[in-house]
Amino acid sequence: MSVGSWFEEFCKNIKFDDKDLENLRYRYRQITKRINLEFWNSTSEELHSLYVGSYGRGTATHLSDIDMIVILPYATYQRINNRQGNKQSALLQEVKTSLQRTYSTSHIKADGQVVGINFSDGINFEIVPVFENTDGSYLYPDTNDGGSWKKTNPKKEIDEMNTYNNLTNGNLKKLCKMLREWKDEKNVNISGYAIDTLAYNFIKYWENKDKSYTYYDWMTRDFFKYLSEQNEDSILFAPGSYNTLYIGNKFNNKANTAYEKAKEAIADETKYPSCAKSEWREIYGTKFPN
């Protein structure tokens, strides 16, 4: 097998199982339907909801935590915003009560900015109720410090990631997914949001960004070099939305270790392929072919 075929198999190994995906999508549709029944007087399983977070951006490798937004009518915002006290907490409680009518036996919590449903199979949904602004962004509730409304624009992030994924022959999202395997394997202190933003910033200017799996060993090496050089004062702006991220440098040492190991693996690929595979598995874990 060639180096390219190793990485192609690795990327297949970190894809979702079709059965798990169907289960997830069924729950997403049921959550959407319940919110629409409660707030829109509709039985639609598709309207007024959107996958967000890493699953929405197409960069997730685990189905354990699924983020979604549910869009509520502006009249609901007016009614809630005219209340006294923590308006945002009141909204989350209303959404929680609504979802309990469908999921009476599941653990449902309302906290901070989300309503969470924890299912017995380990798949958890975090649902953020929002109100759509005229510019396509959303207002969402934050119950902390007495409560406030905050703004987010996940559609722009999703659109930007999709655009650059297409321009890079699908390599952007595959890089994000591979990096999540490294994060899990080495217990790296870095968020998925930061991974996606850093991968996007890196691949935009990487000279082989539109090449095939044959270049994934170089892509790994070059990205980890880039990551190891980020300093603790780095400020990132998320693709599309330009949300600010302060990433720190707690991952630098592990990134540098991965960079050095990638160089070893590349050096061994021709003469000692079994050693090279072992070295790639040291970086990415057991889903990399042996």
With respect to residue 6, please indicate whether it lies within any of the assigned structural domains: no
With respect to residue 106, please indicate whether it lies within any of the assigned structural domains: yes
With respect to residue 290, please indicate whether it lies within any of the assigned structural domains: no
| pLDDT at site 105 | 81
User: What sign does the CA torsion over 19, 130, 156, 245 have?
Assistant: negative
With respect to residue 11, please indicate whether it lies within any of the assigned structural domains: no
Domain edge (last residue) among 108, 123, 152: 152
With respect to residue 265, please indicate whether it lies within any of the assigned structural domains: yes
Asked whether residue 170 falls in the same domain as residue 231, the answer is yes
Domain edge (last residue) among 152, 175, 201: 152
Tens of pLDDT along 22-49?
A: 999 999 999 999 999 999 999 999 999 9
Asked whether residue 239 falls in the same domain as residue 269, the answer is yes
- In this structure, what CATH number is given to the domain that contains residue 44? 3.30.460.90
With respect to residue 10, please indicate whether it lies within any of the assigned structural domains: no
Asked whether residue 25 falls in the same domain as residue 90, the answer is yes
- Cα distance between residue 190 and residue 249, in whole Å: 9
- Cα distance between residue 208 and residue 138, in whole Å: 36
Asked whether residue 175 falls in the same domain as residue 66, the answer is no
Asked whether residue 70 falls in the same domain as residue 168, the answer is no
Asked whether residue 172 falls in the same domain as residue 269, the answer is yes
With respect to residue 124, please indicate whether it lies within any of the assigned structural domains: yes
| pLDDT at site 4 | 97
With respect to residue 231, please indicate whether it lies within any of the assigned structural domains: yes
What mean pLDDT comes out for the span 56-68? 93
Tens of pLDDT along 68-94?
A: 999 999 999 999 999 999 999 999 999
Structural domain harbouring 227? 156-284
Which of residues 64 and 179 earns the better pLDDT score?
179
Tens of pLDDT along 226-279?
A: 999 998 778 899 999 999 988 877 899 999 999 999 999 999 999 999 999 999
* pTM tops 0.85: yes
Asked whether residue 226 falls in the same domain as residue 272, the answer is yes
Please state whether 84 falls in left (phi above 0), alpha (psi between -120 and 50) or beta. Answer: beta
What mean pLDDT comes out for the span 130-144? 96
Structural domain total, the chain: 2
| pLDDT at site 63 | 87
Asked whether residue 202 falls in the same domain as residue 258, the answer is yes
Percent of the chain with pLDDT over 70: 99
Closest CA to 127 of 180, 192, 48: 48
| pLDDT at site 250 | 84
Asked whether residue 61 falls in the same domain as residue 172, the answer is no
| pLDDT at site 234 | 81
| pLDDT at site 121 | 86
In Å, what is the CA distance from 106 to each residue of 69, 100, 191? 19, 8, 27
| pLDDT at site 270 | 95
